[in-house]
């Protein structure tokens, strides 16, 4: 967030208050412009243009609603527009607008054409739904119902659990650290070379939102095991089933949660309905 | 009328607006995950992929073999099998060697390993010739270059086994008659001997059943077959047998009559006394 | 008997015919199964394909069904209000609402029959399986449906021709039967999403467990509320349509009022709808993480951005209508100055709700953001922020209502000032706590976060109820500043009503798609795979186009319904000697 | 220019390397000798005991602070630096340079004279800012208190911190004068005079003649800094940082401390190093292939591709499939391209410490999984090599897997073994499945001043249509690092933009857009005027 820009936008709006004979149209333009400036330059790192566009569209809708939700405002705006288009004293201004607007549009087109096209955008689904079950080393793991087999040790046998976590720590720092980073913030040594960049486990919206089965699936099957909705498969996540044993993969899952202090999403008990499933 | 027209236009515009908004979000088609199906016109590359899937799934190869490059496993590691297959056995090309070790695995045993693999063309794994070709293609690709296609002919291939459909019909037809098999035949058919020996007291992958009749009650034998993980003898891996039996479809195939015959057969094994 | 004979062809005959078709369709698969060499899994439909046909027809059936089930609910309520306070206006309004019913009911039945027909023809294997699970409920459904027809027609045609208490009782029966219908039908489709009561191979263990599956009740409740919303908005659209075509001031006044009532019902029902939606989402997550992620995190996460745009528009339009409505009330000028703050709140909430979690960004933008997530948007993109936004949105809309309610009133009670302060205090405190919980939710683990939505909802409900109670007492014997001049409202407001109706219909279409779409390549999730050529999940743009077409077809049909109703209305007016509404 | 040069504690790099082995002796020698000199000068009184007495006591923190530091250390640091601080954590074998052995008390980045211990602030700074392009990440998420506790704990590993040397002297690091081109120019002479090129190379690319033989004091090979990549400087990238680095040296590594007088010459050297480099890698997402009518002559090398820096892409280790490479020898590749009607040529340039032109290399060579993760050999059996890959077909459903494709979507691989200089082509369907392609690319590669430049030329097929964005990815093998097969440096997919030979004129689209806007405006105004007139007349 760039405080200076925010302050400048606010100051601009405040200044409008002191403009004599300020009318509703002026206010709307002022608000729109201030928001535009803030969204465009006031946020650091900058918002993607797609999001800027969406926010401005919502704002435009709101401002239109505002002006037409009051008949006096609406009539005023309409009158002004009609007056601008028809009355003699605005003829020069009207002509200037009629010339200037198409020129601006043409200029925009000029920039679009000369800037050259941008590389194709690839959008991919960040959290694709996991399959119902996966096969690891000939064993079927039911991702719907199976839990981390060692999670229960946390309460039953803390010493054994600590051993599993320690093993997970070893696995992590031997295998995962180059991409996911020493502090699991997704900023390892090689993170800058991959797109998408490695997941940030410290972020409350990654592993904290997911059950351990999901994490296990991502570890075991890696980028090549993503479903078709997550194409293109640029993910550099290896299919760890080729390197690690099942136990090691569960252990490293335990360690991820242990290190970041997150808790895996719990399997919820179902309130209504039968329990036959 | 004018009103009705205006409303019409308005409705269309609003619907179009929402359609437009929906075109603005990422457009992605999600296809169902692909099933391994062996089409008649599969290329060698597709065979490699299919074979990999069979090897880790239905074929249960990875229960015993590893593909990590580490030596010292139960069965030979397959990481470079495509490379070494060509000159492993004199007079055999790599395809021939691989085929032999799949159809007739105990014909050649890699030094340092015990015989124990079951022919994968037979029940319970029961791969048909096409699937075996896919597995060969996959094995060749490990360290080498896959060359086989579905048209590759091997001398191990059986006449009646050549078509997948025929194979499935044959097994369906064979179903009822299997009721009359003896316990020994069942033991062989379900490849129990891969992991359990009935002739020697030495354990293979699973405990020896040399003295099963004395060691276990009939009830224990039933349990050991139907729920292998209930009691696992020390030094043996839990889950291995159930995974193997599940993967080969043992529980789907065996009938209660066969089960009884098999248990009775095992209960007769009293080699220790 | 004469009136029955005259009107039977309009609705009932059609219905009987289609009921017959349903039965035929019901028994047909056996016949087909026998003549074909093996069991047929799928048949194809020319041009658009079987999936789109079933999709569109099911959606149309659903929309008409929703309308037919919802209108009796509020018709009965309005009739009851009219009965209690003796205001003829309410009774007429209720009657006018039911007038839309009879034709719609025929449409619903035809579409339902068509749907069954196509399902059995095009998806025989699936239907065979569903029949094997739900055998007797299909029969029950047919019976209940027949009962519905009996109740509906006697309720409508018996208007004013029987004692009022009996008529009200009939209306109650109609609603009961209607709810039974939707519950039975819901059990089938929720079973496909969250199968229950079966073993691993899909064999039936218990039909009751299959009915009472994870998502059955949430869907039931969600649909009931949504139906009222939808019915109200369509009724409001009817009022708007009549208003625009009205010739006299009296007509205008009447239809302005009707539009207002319809919209009031729709918005009042809209307020609890998000809560029901979250309950449903939670149950889906509880049933299976995969389904939950498909719903919220996968491709469909973008669908919920579209939904946010729809709902945001709905709230905006509803508030807009209220603000415009206040122009017909003397004394409302006093509240005009709050409009901009309400609007600001709505805009901010709208923006928060529509912020996607995974962004579309160029590689440069992604690099600048340091990943696929923006540090600021990331905070807005997750559930706790959106929950908060929805709650604040609901409170804002409630505030608009409150202003509308007291627009021409001035409290005369001695404690008016204190009352105002208390009301404001409650509101401010609740908003504050809701936002605090939203922010706090970001820092706690998922299970706690999900739990936080309950106090949020509770607080919002508490605020709305307590403020309303204070308001009612405060404005007892209030000084009236001026009359409400019904009919004095700009046409823009009527278009806002259309906008709300279309948006509702579109939202229903979209939600129908996502409910069935999250199963992806499964007919019955995890049990029966969809092996047809339509097993893939289409793009959202494609789905949106199908929804748009469905909505347009629906409104074309609705136009026919309006037209036919106005014909019969004319006749009735003539028959009753041209009584003014 | 006639600046007097003294390499203070060691005069010869070779001696320095040898001295490092017997580090304690060197350190104590240098410390006692140097310290006493300074102190004697300062106090005017000789006598070491007095000096030690006169020194303020080292700040070792409280018991709680060290304990807090210890738990933080065990949580965040022990995996690399080891539970006992000996630099032998589980991740240590995968790192070059190796994680610091805290028990040795030898630190690279210091504001204290060579051979002395670092100050607390030095330690804190490295923890907070990390060392770029080594295994040491920055830890901005730790609070100042946490970092201070860590520092207190680190100091417990070596007894010297609590002894008489625990309070080191501060090296004088003056404020830098402003940068000037002239000074940078003079710095070049200073650079040569001090034989910096011996390690860092004539062009500063870290390719000096002794570079392959350098060892840090633990005996592992260590690469000299590539002075053209300022963002990789482990001690920081400001001019003050550069000054500090060469005046205090990097203890434990072959980088000695220099004392260059007059001080203007020191700053001249700083300015020269500064002028060699850019501070931001400025990674690109697409390279542009420009049209040039004349035939491509690969032998021209870089000159054939016009002026200016090409698109620069980050290269990282292949850690995804077996044969993982944890410390690739190359960290970035520059790409330029051009095409004409029949041919397309792509130039790749990257910095390499030494050219390995003996032995052989191929993308499908097997790497034993048990091979040591980082090997330090001077005589390599593997040559340097490079490869470019493109999807074989542009499929709408997306890109092939970026590690040599997948079974569904194969890639075309253009490979150059720089020992033979011959180009080969492969069709890749996954890194385990490469078969030889039909047409081999013609390749021309040169190595000069630490930079490889390889030009690939191939017939231009329909993939490279004008205006197309062709997905492109690169692999680089550094033979010195024993890289071959899957052990290599890789990039993800980027794009090669085939810039159309004729730029489309923007005039028509501009006219169209402008005209349409004008039309819309006019019709609105016209409608308003029309209605106004009718309403007035009515």
Digit-coded pLDDT (tens) for D385-414: 999 999 988 876 678 888 888 877 889 999
Report chain B's C-alpha Rg in angstroms: 26
Interchain CB distance below 8 Å, B27 and C530:
no
Q: Mind telling me how many Å the CA of D427 is from chain C's nearest CA? A: 28
Residues C272 and C213 in one domain: yes
Of the listed ranges B26-40, B200-214, D77-91, D231-245, the one predicted with least confidence = B26-40
Nearest CA in chain D to A241: D321
Q: Which of C178, C274, C264 is nearest to C218 (CA)?
A: C274
All structural domains of chain B: 44-170 (1.10.760.10), 181-267 (1.10.760.10)
How many C-beta atoms surround the C-beta of residue B3 within 10 A?
A: 15
Q: What is the pLDDT of residue D8?
A: 39
Per DSSP, the residues of A133-182 read EEEETTEEEETTT---TTTTHHHH-HHHHHHHHHHHHHHIIIIIHHHH-T
pLDDT value, residue A125: 65
Domain boundary among C483, C512, C533: C483
Tell me: do C563 and C442 sit in the same domain: no
Q: How confident is the model at residue A1 (pLDDT cuts 50, 70, 90)?
A: low
Cβ-nearest to C288 among A144, A210, A273: A144
Torsion of CA C59, C61, C64, C66, to 10 degrees: -70
CA distance B80 to C551: 60
User: Which residue of chain A is at minimal alpha-carbon distance from C279?
Assistant: A271
Q: What is the pLDDT of residues A71-97, one digit of tens each?
A: 888 999 988 888 888 888 888 988 998
User: CB A276 to CB C293 under 8 A?
Assistant: no
Residue D429, H or E segment: none
C431: contact with A, CB 8 A cutoff: no
On the question of pLDDT at D221 being above 90, the answer is: no
Residue D379 is predicted with a pLDDT of: 64
Where residue B92 falls (left for φ over 0; alpha for ψ -120 to 50; beta otherwise) is beta
Name the residue of chain B whose CA is nearest to D366's CA.
B143
Say if residue C312 is preceded by a cis peptide, omega within 30 of 0: no
The two structure tokens encoding residue D16: 């320095």
| Chain D residues touching residue B141 (CB < 8 angstroms) | 432-433
The pLDDT > 70 percentage for chain D reads 87
Look at residue D5 in the predicted model and tell me its pLDDT.
43
Residue C176 belongs to a domain = yes
Q: How confident is residue B71, by pLDDT bands cut at 50, 70 and 90?
A: low
What is the complex's ipTM, to 2 decimals?
0.76
- Helix boundaries (H) for C486-527: 491-517
pLDDT given for residue D516 in this prediction = 93
pLDDT at D413: 93
DSSP string, C195-233: --SB-TT--BS-HHHHHT-TTHHHHHHHHHHHHHHHHHH
Instruction: Tell me how far the alpha carbon of residue D421 is from its chain's centroid.
Output: 26
Same domain, C295 and C393: no
Contact state of D504 with A187 under an 8 Å Cβ cutoff: no
Q: Which of A46, A204, A276 sits opposite C442 (nearest CB)?
A: A204
Q: Which chains touch D (3 or more CB pairs under 8 A)?
A: A, B, C
In terms of average pLDDT, the best of A29-33, A222-226, C128-132 is A29-33
Give the C-alpha separation, A266 to A263, whole Å: 8
Residues C88 and C236 grouped into a single domain = yes
Whether pLDDT at D37 is above 50: no
Which other chains touch chain A, taking contact as 3+ CB pairs less than 8 Å apart? B, C, D
Chain B residues in contact with chain A using a Cβ-Cβ cutoff of 8 Å: 24, 26, 28-31, 33, 56-57, 60, 62-63, 67-68, 239, 243-244, 246-247
Q: How confident is the model at residue B37 (pLDDT cuts 50, 70, 90)?
A: low
What is the reported pLDDT for D34? 47
Residue B164 pLDDT more than 60?
A: no
Average pLDDT, chain B: 75
For range A112-140, the mean pLDDT: 73
Residue of A nearest to D490 (CA): A193
| pLDDT digit string, tens, across residues D240-299 | 899 998 888 888 888 888 888 788 888 999 999 999 888 788 888 889 998 988 887 878
Numbered residues of chain D with Cβ closer than 8 Å to any chain B Cβ: 322, 366, 368-370, 407-408, 410, 429, 432-433, 435
D13 three-class SS: helix
CB contact under 8 A, D283 and C364: no
Q: Please indicate whether, in this complex, the C-beta atoms of B142 and D366 are within 8 angstroms of each other.
A: no
Is position C577 within any domain? no
Token representation of residue C358: 């995974």
pLDDT digits (tens, 9 = 90+) for D339-376: 988 899 999 999 998 888 888 888 888 887 767 666 55
The number of distinct structural domains making up chain C is 2
For residue B90, is pLDDT > 50?
Answer: yes
In which domain, by residue range, is C271 found?
2-325+499-567
Please tell me the distance in Å from C497's CA to the nearest CA on chain A. 14
Grade residue B152 by pLDDT with cuts at 50, 70 and 90. confident
Helices and strands (DSSP H and E) totals, chain D? 12, 16
Q: Where are the domains of chain A?
A: 3-114, 133-260
- Asked whether the predicted pLDDT for residue D173 surpasses 50, the reply is yes
pLDDT at site C36: 45
Compute the distance between CA of residue D535 and CA of residue B13 in angstroms, rounded to an integer.
29
pLDDT of B204: 72
Check A140 against B246: CB less than 8 A apart: yes
In a structure prediction context, what are the per-residue pLDDT tens digits for chain C, which is 581 residues long?
344 444 444 455 455 555 655 555 554 444 444 444 456 778 888 778 888 999 999 999 999 999 999 989 989 999 998 888 888 888 888 888 888 888 888 889 889 999 988 998 888 888 888 888 888 888 899 899 889 999 998 998 888 888 888 999 999 999 999 999 999 999 999 999 888 888 766 778 888 888 888 889 999 999 999 999 999 999 999 999 989 988 888 889 989 999 999 999 998 898 888 888 888 888 887 787 778 777 776 678 888 889 999 999 999 999 999 999 988 888 888 888 888 899 999 999 999 998 887 777 766 777 677 666 777 787 787 778 888 998 999 999 999 999 998 888 888 888 888 999 999 999 999 999 999 988 888 777 666 776 777 888 889 999 999 999 999 988 888 888 888 888 888 889 999 999 999 999 999 999 999 988 888 888 888 788 888 888 888 888 999 999 999 999 999 999 888 888 777 665 554 444 433 33
pLDDT of residue C233: 93
Q: Calculate what percentage of chain B has a pLDDT beyond 70.
A: 78
Which has more confidence, D451 or B164? D451
Supply the pLDDT for residue D456: 92
Task: Residue window 121-150, chain A: list those with CB within 8 Å of chain C.
Answer: 121, 123, 125-132, 143-144
Contact at CB, D433 and B145, closer than 8 angstroms? yes
Pairwise pLDDT comparison (C201 vs D302), residue with the higher score: D302
Which residue in C40, C536, D405 sits closest to B34, CA to CA? C536
Query: In terms of pLDDT, which residue wins out, D165 or C221?
Result: C221
What part of D 154-193 touches A (C-beta under 8 Å)?
none
User: Which two three-digit tokens encode residue C296?
Assistant: 């919220």
Topology, domain A133-260: Cytochrome Bc1 Complex; Chain D, domain 2 (1.10.760)
Q: Residue B70 carries which DSSP code? A: -
**Average pLDDT of the residues of chain A:** 83
**What per-residue confidence (pLDDT) applies to A209?**
76
Do D514 and A106 make contact, defined as CB atoms within 8 angstroms? Answer: yes
CATH superfamily of D5-276: Cytochrome c-like domain (1.10.760.10)
Angle of helix C50-85 versus helix C540-575 axis, rounded to 10 = 40
So what's the pLDDT on residue D43? 44
Q: Do the chains contact at C196 and A128, CB–CB below 8 Å?
A: no
Give CA separation, D456 vs D314, D427, D445, in Å: 20, 16, 9
Query: What per-residue confidence (pLDDT) applies to D2?
Result: 40
Residues D79, A194: C-beta atoms closer than 8 Å: no
Give residue D397's pLDDT.
66
| 3-class DSSP assignment, residue D485 | coil
- D286-498 CATH, one of 3.20.20.150, 3.40.50.300, 2.60.40.1190, 3.40.50.1000: 2.60.40.1190
Q: What is the mean pLDDT of residues B8-22?
A: 93
Tell me the nearest-neighbour CA distance from D495 into chain A, angstroms.
7
Between the two ends of chain C, the Cα-to-Cα distance in Å is: 28
């Amino acid at each position: 967030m760039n405080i200076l820009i925010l302050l400048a936008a606010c100051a601009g709006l405040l200044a409008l208050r002191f403009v004599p004979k300020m009318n509703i149209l002026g206010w709307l333009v002022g608000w729109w412009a201030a928001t535009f400036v803030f969204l465009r330059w006031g946020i650091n790192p900058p918002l993607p243009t797609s999001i800027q566009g969406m926010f401005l569209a919502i704002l435009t809708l709101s401002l239109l609603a505002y002006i037409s939700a009051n008949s006096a405002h609406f009539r005023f705006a309409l009158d002004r527009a009609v007056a601008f288009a028809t009355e003699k004293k605005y003829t020069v201004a009207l002509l200037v607008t009629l010339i200037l607007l198409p020129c601006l549009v043409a200029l925009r087109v000029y920039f679009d054409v000369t800037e050259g096209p941008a590389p194709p955008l690839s959008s991919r689904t960040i959290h694709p739904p996991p399959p119902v079950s996966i096969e690891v080393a000939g064993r079927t793991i039911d991702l719907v119902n199976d839990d981390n087999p060692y999670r229960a040790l946390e309460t039953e046998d803390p010493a054994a659990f600590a051993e599993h976590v320690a093993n997970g720590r070893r696995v992590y720092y031997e295998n995962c650290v180059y991409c996911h980073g020493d502090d699991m913030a997704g900023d390892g040594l090689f993170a800058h070379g991959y797109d998408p960049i490695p997941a940030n486990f410290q972020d409350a919206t990654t592993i904290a939102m997911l059950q351990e089965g999901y994490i296990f699936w991502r570890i075991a099957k890696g980028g090549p095991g993503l479903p078709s909705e997550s194409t293109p498969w640029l993910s550099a996540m290896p299919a760890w089933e080729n390197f690690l044993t099942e136990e090691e993969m569960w252990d490293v899952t335990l360690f991820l949660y242990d290190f970041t202090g997150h808790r895996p999403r719990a399997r919820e008990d179902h309130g209504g309905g039968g329990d036959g499933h | 009328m004018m009103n009705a027209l205006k409303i019409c236009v308005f409705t269309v515009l609003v619907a179009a607006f929402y359609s437009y908004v929906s075109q603005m979000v990422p457009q992605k088609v999600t296809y169902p995950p692909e099933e391994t199906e062996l089409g008649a016109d599969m290329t060698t590359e597709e065979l490699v992929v299919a074979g990999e899937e069979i090897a880790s799934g239905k074929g249960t190869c990875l229960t015993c073999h590893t593909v990590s490059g580490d030596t010292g496993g139960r069965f030979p590691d397959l990481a470079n099998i495509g490379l070494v297959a060509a000159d492993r056995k004199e007079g055999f090309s790599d395809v021939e060697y691989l085929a032999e070790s799949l159809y007739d695995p105990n014909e050649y045993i890699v030094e340092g390993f015990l015989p124990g693999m079951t022919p994968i063309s037979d029940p319970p794994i029961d791969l048909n010739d096409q699937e075996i070709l896919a597995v060969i293609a996959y094995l060749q690709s490990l360290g080498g270059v896959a060359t086989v296609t579905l048209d590759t002919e091997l001398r191990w291939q059986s006449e009646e086994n050549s078509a997948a459909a025929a194979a499935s019909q044959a097994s369906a037809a064979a179903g009822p008659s299997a009721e009359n098999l003896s316990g020994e035949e069942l033991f062989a058919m379900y490849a129990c001997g891969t992991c359990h020996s009935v002739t020697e007291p030495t354990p293979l992958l699973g405990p020896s059943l040399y003295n099963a009749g004395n060691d276990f009650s009939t009830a224990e034998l039933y349990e050991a077959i139907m729920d292998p993980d209930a009691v696992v003898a020390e030094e043996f891996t839990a889950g291995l047998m159930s995974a193997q039996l599940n993967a080969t479809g043992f529980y789907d195939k065996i009938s209660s009559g066969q089960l009884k015959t098999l248990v009775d057969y095992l209960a007769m094994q009293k080699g220790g006394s | 008997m004469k009136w029955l004979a005259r009107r039977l062809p309009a609705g009932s005959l059609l219905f009987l015919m289609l009921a017959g078709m349903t039965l035929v369709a019901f028994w047909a698969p056996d016949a087909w199964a026998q003549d074909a060499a093996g069991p047929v899994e799928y048949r194809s439909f020319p041009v658009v394909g079987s999936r789109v046909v079933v999709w569109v027809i099911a959606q149309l059936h659903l929309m008409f069904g929703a309308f037919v089930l919802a209108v009796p609910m509020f018709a009965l309520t309005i009739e009851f209000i009219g009965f209690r306070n003796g205001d003829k206006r309410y009774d007429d309004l209720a009657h006018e609402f039911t007038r839309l019913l009879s034709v719609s009911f025929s449409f619903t039945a035809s579409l339902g029959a068509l749907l069954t027909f196509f399902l059995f023809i095009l998806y025989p294997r699936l239907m065979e399986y569903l029949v094997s699970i739900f055998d007797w409920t299909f029969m029950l459904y047919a019976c209940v449906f027949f009962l519905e027809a009996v109740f509906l027609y006697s309720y409508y045609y018996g208007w004013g021709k029987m004692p009022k208490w009996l008529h009200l009782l009939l209306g109650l029966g109609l609603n009961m039967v209607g709810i039974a219908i939707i519950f039975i039908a819901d059990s089938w489709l929720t079973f496909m999403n969250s199968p229950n009561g079966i073993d691993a191979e899909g064999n039936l263990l218990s039909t009751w467990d299959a009915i009472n599956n994870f998502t059955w009740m949430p869907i039931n409740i969600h649909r009931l509320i949504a139906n009222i919303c939808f019915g109200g908005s369509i009724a409001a659209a009817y009022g708007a349509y009549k208003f625009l075509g009205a010739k006299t001031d009296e007509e205008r006044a009447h239809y302005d009022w009707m539009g207002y009532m319809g919209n009031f019902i729709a918005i009042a029902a809209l307020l609890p709808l998000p809560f029901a939606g979250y309950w449903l989402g939670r149950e889906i997550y509880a049933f299976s993480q995969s389904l939950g992620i498909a719903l919220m995190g996968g491709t469909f996460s973008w669908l919920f951005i579209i939904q946010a745009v729809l709902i945001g528009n709905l709230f905006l339009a509803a508030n807009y209508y209220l603000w415009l409505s206040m122009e017909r009330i003397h004394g409302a000028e006093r509240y005009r100055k709050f409009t901009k703050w309400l609007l600001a709140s709505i805009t901010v909430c709208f923006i928060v709700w529509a912020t996607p979690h995974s962004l579309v960004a160029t590689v440069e933008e992604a690099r600048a953001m340091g990943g696929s997530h923006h540090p600021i948007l990331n905070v807005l993109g997750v559930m706790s922020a959106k929950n908060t936004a929805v709650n604040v949105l609901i409170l804002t809309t409630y505030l608009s209502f409150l202003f509308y309610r007291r627009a021409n009133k001035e409290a005369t009670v001695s404690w008016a000032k204190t009352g105002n302060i208390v009301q404001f205090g409650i509101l401010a405190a609740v908003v504050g706590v809701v936002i605090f919980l939203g922010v706090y939710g970001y820092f706690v683990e998922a299970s706690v976060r999900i739990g936080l939505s309950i106090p949020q909802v509770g607080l919002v409900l508490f605020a709305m109820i307590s403020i309303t109670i204070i308001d009612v007492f405060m404005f007892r014997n209030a000084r009236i500043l001026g009359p409400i001049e019904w009919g004095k409202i700009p046409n823009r407001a009527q278009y806002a009503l259309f906008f709300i109706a279309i948006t509702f219909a579109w939202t229903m279409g979209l939600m129908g798609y996502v409910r069935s779409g999250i199963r992806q390549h499964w007919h019955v999730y995890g049990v029966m795979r969809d092996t047809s050529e339509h097993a893939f999940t289409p793009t959202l743009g494609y789905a949106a186009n199908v929804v748009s077409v469905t909505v347009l077809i629906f409104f074309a049909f609705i136009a026919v319904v309006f037209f036919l109703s106005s014909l019969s209305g004319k006749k009735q007016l003539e028959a009753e000697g041209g009584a003014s509404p | 220019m006639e600046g007097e040069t003294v390499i203070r504690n060691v005069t010869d790099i070779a001696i320095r390397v040898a001295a490092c082995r017997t580090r304690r002796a060197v350190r104590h020698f240098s410390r006692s000798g140097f310290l006493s000199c300074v102190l004697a000068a300062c106090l005017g009184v000789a006598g070491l005991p007095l000096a030690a007495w006169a020194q303020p006591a080292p700040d070792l923190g409280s018991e709680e602070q060290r304990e807090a530091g210890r738990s933080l250390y065990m949580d965040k640091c022990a995996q690399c630096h080891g539970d006992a601080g000996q630099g032998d954590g589980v991740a240590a074998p995968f790192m070059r340079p190796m994680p610091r052995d805290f028990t040795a008390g030898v630190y690279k980045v210091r504001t204290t004279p060579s051979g002395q211990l670092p100050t607390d602030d030095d330690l804190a700074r490295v923890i907070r800012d990390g060392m770029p392009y080594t295994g040491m990440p920055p830890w901005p998420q730790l609070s100042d208190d946490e970092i201070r506790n860590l520092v207190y704990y680190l100091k417990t590993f070596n007894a010297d911190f609590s002894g008489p040397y625990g309070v080191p002297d501060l090296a004088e690091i003056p404020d830098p004068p402003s940068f000037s081109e002239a000074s940078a120019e003079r710095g070049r002479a200073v650079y040569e005079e001090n034989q910096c090129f011996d390690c860092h190379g004539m062009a500063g690319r870290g390719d000096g003649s002794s570079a392959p033989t350098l060892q840090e004091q633990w005996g592992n090979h260590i690469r000299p800094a590539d002075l053209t990549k300022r963002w990789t400087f482990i001690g920081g990238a400001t001019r003050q940082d550069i000054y500090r680095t060469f005046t205090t040296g990097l203890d434990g590594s072959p980088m000695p401390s220099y004392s260059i007088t007059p001080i203007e010459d020191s700053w001249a050297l700083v300015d020269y190093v500064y002028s060699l480099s850019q501070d931001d890698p400025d990674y690109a997402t697409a390279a542009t292939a420009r049209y040039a009518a004349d035939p491509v002559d690969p032998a021209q090398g870089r000159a054939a591709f016009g002026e200016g820096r090409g698109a620069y892409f980050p290269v990282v280790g292949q850690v995804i499939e077996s044969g993982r490479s944890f410390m690739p020898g190359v960290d970035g590749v520059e790409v330029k391209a051009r095409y004409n009607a029949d041919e397309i040529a792509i130039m790749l340039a990257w910095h390499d410490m030494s050219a390995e032109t003996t032995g052989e290399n191929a993308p499908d060579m097997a790497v034993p999984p048990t091979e040591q993760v980082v090997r330090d050999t001077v005589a390599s059996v593997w040559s340097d090599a490079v490869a470019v890959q493109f999807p074989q077909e542009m499929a709408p459903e997306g890109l092939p897997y970026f590690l040599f494709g997948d079974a569904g979507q194969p890639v075309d691989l253009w490979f150059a073994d720089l020992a033979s200089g011959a180009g080969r082509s492969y069709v890749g369907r996954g890194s385990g499945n490469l078969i030889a392609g039909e047409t081999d690319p013609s390749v021309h590669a040169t190595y000069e001043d630490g930079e490889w430049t390889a030009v690939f030329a191939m017939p231009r097929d329909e993939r490279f249509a004008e205006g197309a964005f062709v997905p492109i990815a690169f692999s680089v093998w550094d033979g010195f690092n024993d890289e071959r097969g899957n052990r290599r440096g890789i990039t993800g997919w980027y794009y090669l933009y085939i810039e159309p030979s004729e730029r489309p004129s923007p005039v028509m689209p501009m006219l169209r857009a402008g005209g349409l806007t004008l039309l819309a405006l006019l019709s609105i105004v016209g409608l308003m005027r029309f209605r106004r007139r009718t309403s007035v007349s009515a």
